Amino acid sequence: MTADTRWLDEDEQRTWRAFLTAQRLLFDRLERQLQRDAGLPHAYYEILVRLSEAPDRTLRMSQLADSSLSSRSRLSHAVARLEAAGWVRRRACAEDRRGAFAELTPDGMAKLEESAPGHVEAVRADLFDALDRDQQRVLRDISDTLIAHLSDTAAWPVESDTRADAG
């Protein structure tokens, strides 16, 4: 593959590096805010959020993994820790005995309600306060475009797509 690399031109290079830098500065910051104020990584916070929005504050592990963009493995570890903290409880699944439910406990809900204001404030201060309405609109547009693109596209080049010509 990659007989001829489609290198980035000057302009694309700058765009890419700017995006990379902005993204890192922003998410490092939010990560640290949550870790400092709530003692939680953002991935764990998001698990609590998704559970809080689910019917009965309960989701199957797989659904929770999908909705929080976690791998199965990562979710297992995460829920183990959240369960030890008393914020989430695992329940057996009657219909499918392989399965398991994760349920947000009242303590978990309290934890979330206590952590949310600081986090939301950080998102607003670090992201929204910097962007005007137009920029926000396009950011959403770009994000939606990317989500569609990345959901459609296989994560890595499919073997059978290896052609002789550079197409």
Q: From the list DNA, a copy of itself, none, which binds 25 (C-beta under 5 to 8 Å, kind-based)?
A: a copy of itself
- Least distance to a copy of itself, CB of residue 7, Å: 6
**x/- binding map, residues 47-86, to a copy of itself, per CB under 8 A?**
----------------------x-----------------
Pairing assessment for the beta strands 100-104 and 58-60 based on DSSP bridges:
antiparallel
**Beta carbons of 137 and 143 less than 8 angstroms apart:** no
Return the residue matching tokens 């764990």: 44
Q: From the list DNA, a copy of itself, none, which binds 155 (C-beta under 5 to 8 Å, kind-based)?
A: a copy of itself
Coil, helix or strand at residue 17: helix
Question: Cα–Cα distance between 36 and 41 in angstroms, integer?
Answer: 9
Return the residue matching tokens 């009242």: 106
- Determine if 142 is a binding residue for a copy of itself (CB under 8 A): yes
Question: Cα–Cα distance between 86 and 83 in angstroms, integer?
Answer: 5
For residue 128, give every residue at least 6 positions away whose Cβ sits within 8 Å of its Cβ, in sequence order, or none.
Answer: 136
Q: Which listed residue (26, 85, 100, 109) binds a copy of itself by CB under 8 A?
A: 26
Q: Which is nearer to DNA, 91 or 140 (CB)?
A: 91
Q: Which helix (H) or strand (E) holds 125?
A: helix 106-126
**Beta carbons of 16 and 8 less than 8 angstroms apart:** yes
- Least distance to a copy of itself, CB of residue 84, Å: 25
Residues of the shown chain interacting with a copy of itself in the complex, contacts defined by CB under 8 A = 1-2, 5-8, 11-12, 14-16, 18-19, 21-29, 32-33, 36, 69, 116-118, 120-121, 123-131, 135-136, 138-151, 153, 155-156
Residues of the shown chain interacting with DNA in the complex, contacts defined by CB under 7 A = 28, 32, 35-36, 41, 43-44, 60-62, 65, 70-81, 90, 93, 96-101
